[in-house]
Amino acid sequence: MNRAPAALLVTALLLAGCADDRSGTLGPAPTLPAPAAPATSTAAPAVTPVTSGTAAPGPVRTGPTPTGSTAASPAATHPAPRGSTPTGSTPTGSASTGSAPDGTVTVQLWLVRDGRLSPATRTRPQTPATSALALDELAAGPSAAEASAGLTSVVPEGVRMVRINDGTATVAAPPAFTDGPVATVRLRRAQVVWTLTQFPAVRRVDLGDGRAPTGRADYADLLPPIVVTGPSIGQQVGSPVTVTGTAQVFEATVSVRVLDRDGHVIGAGFTTATCGTGCRGDYRVAVRYRLAATGPGSVEAYEVSARDGSRINVVSVPVLLNASTA
């Protein structure tokens, strides 16, 4: 029997058992990355469709609204005056004239009474050239009723609008505009400036004479202590009559009374302006009166003297009073 192969086999097994352990540990099983959660895409903001009745050219953007430049307004067209009624910050001193008929526009003029500015109104067929209309009416001067109440104008004919740009109205004036005493010329300028700055597009006026444009504040000293912007001279009013204006009076107190054709007091009241002594404020008051038959009368605004209680700084506005028993 051949024993050699068996011996060789035994020897091999013994050698394997004495060999170094080279396998070590496999260590922890390799960890596979955790399965990624399904991606959750964030939907784009919904685009709000334009509902104007026409297809939108693209998405509506929500960024800053671009600011367009304001082109110079031609003299013939710009917004209607504050307080007009073609279709009120109604500014300080704007007219309160009630509703004008359809197809008309009411503009305010600043005339002169006793050397001070005094407002009046005109209601005319509607026109886009409201600034030109106001200048024409200013040059035409007071109505008969206004003249009877002491109003005048020192503005000559020929003053015309050139353009309105960036809040400045440029006006062309005839040579006669600068004729006369310095005080008269300044009053003339004030009439034009206060009349044109009733329009929202106008804050100052350049009279084309080489001087810097001026605004209302430059002529504030030409206002009387009490200004009545409503009712207007000759206006028909009912009870209660609403009286509006501005005032710079003691303790801001403005008194009002309504008189009939014979000068009898048929209604009275008072109010406080929005600013007192040393500053000009707005006022508004409704005064009831009793009158048997419709007829002429007047509305008076005045200040009561702190010295002796007398009526001072009186402004009288002739009106037509509707009958009222209330």
Structural domains in the chain, sorted by start: 73-222 (no CATH), 226-321 (2.60.40.2550)
Classified as helix, coil or strand, 200 is: coil
- Residue 100: per-residue pLDDT: 64
Give the C-alpha separation, 252 to 268, whole Å. Answer: 17
- The CB-side HSE value for 10 (13 A sphere, CA atoms) comes to 5
Is residue 274 within 8 A of residue 244, CB to CB? The reply is no
Helix 182-196 and helix 130-140, axial crossing angle in degrees, nearest 10: 140
Q: State both tokens at 14.
A: 């013994």
160 phi and psi angles, rounded to 5 deg: -135, 155
> Over the chain, what is the mean pLDDT?
79
- Reference 228, options 246, 253, 250, 241; nearest CA is 246
Partner residues linked to 105 by β-bridges = 124
Nearest to 83 by CA among 215, 195, 198, 168: 198
Q: For 199-254, write each residue's pLDDT tens digit.
A: 999 999 999 888 999 999 999 999 999 999 999 999 999 999 999 999 999 999 99
- Given a cut of 60, whether residue 190 has pLDDT beyond it is yes
Query: Distances in Å between the alpha carbon of 75 and those of 124, 151, 170, 267?
Result: 18, 28, 9, 44
**Which pLDDT score is estimated for 210?**
86
Q: What is the DSSP letter of 252?
A: G
Provide, rounded to the nearest whole percent, the portion of the chain with pLDDT above 90.
Answer: 66
Digit-coded pLDDT (tens) for 260-305: 999 999 999 999 999 988 899 999 999 999 999 999 999 999 999 9
Q: What's the pLDDT score for residue 1?
A: 46
Structure tokens at 147: 């003249």
Separation of CA 78 from chain center: 14
Task: Please report the pLDDT score of residue 277 as a whole number.
Answer: 80
b/e map 48-61, b = 16+ CB within 10 Å: eeeeeeeeeeeeee
Give me the DSSP letters along 173-199: --GGGG-S-HHHHHHHHHHHHHHHTTS
What pLDDT does residue 49 have? 33
**Rounded to whole angstroms, how far apart are CA atoms 255 and 229?**
15
The answer to whether residues 280 and 288 touch, using CB atoms and an 8 Å cutoff, is no
